[in-house]
Amino acid sequence: MTEREKLWKKARKLRSEMRRLGPLLKGSVVLREMKCGKINCTCTRGKPHSFLCITYKERGKTKTVYVDKNRTEEALSWFANYKKFKSLLSQHAQVLFSLLKSQGKTAKKG
């Protein structure tokens, strides 16, 4: 197997991995803590309530989405998928750049 064939195989494998990732969630994950303000709540005497937020940019403005406790794991999974997708996309681009730089002028679609 030639070097070009190996690179094409790697590119196909990376694309396949990207397709299998599932839902993607772009943004930043923030764990916030805050006191609720209720007089009799335990948070006034101890540790404040914690909750997960996702921040993202939309038309140049930062938006915040508060994640329900029941969906925290799901949101974190989607966020991890997005990070993995970015990594795979970067690797895929490097493989394609290598193909462009490599000798041999024949183009192959894959």
Average pLDDT along the chain, 110 residues, taken 10 residues at a time? 90 96 94 87 85 94 94 94 97 94 65
- Residue in this structure with the two tokens 């997960």, named with its chain if needed: 52
Q: What is the pLDDT of residue 106?
A: 57
Rounded CA-CA distance 28/39 in Å is 32
Q: Is the pTM of this model over 0.95?
A: no
Q: What is the pLDDT of residue 39?
A: 84
If you ran DSSP here, which 8-state letter would residue 105 be given?
Answer: -
Q: What is the pLDDT of residue 108?
A: 60
Is residue 89 within 8 Å of 71, Cβ to Cβ?
no
Q: What is the pLDDT of residue 105?
A: 56
**Cα 71 from chain centroid (whole Å):** 17
Residue-range domain boundaries for the chain: 3-101
Per residue, the 3-state secondary structure of 33-92, as one string, reads EECCCCCCCHHHCCCCEEEEEEEEEECCEEEEEEECHHHHHHHHHHHHHHHHHHHHHHHH
Q: Is 79 exposed, middle or buried (0-12, 13-18, 19+ CB in 10 A)?
A: buried
Q: What is the pLDDT of residue 109?
A: 62
Q: What is the pLDDT of residue 103?
A: 66
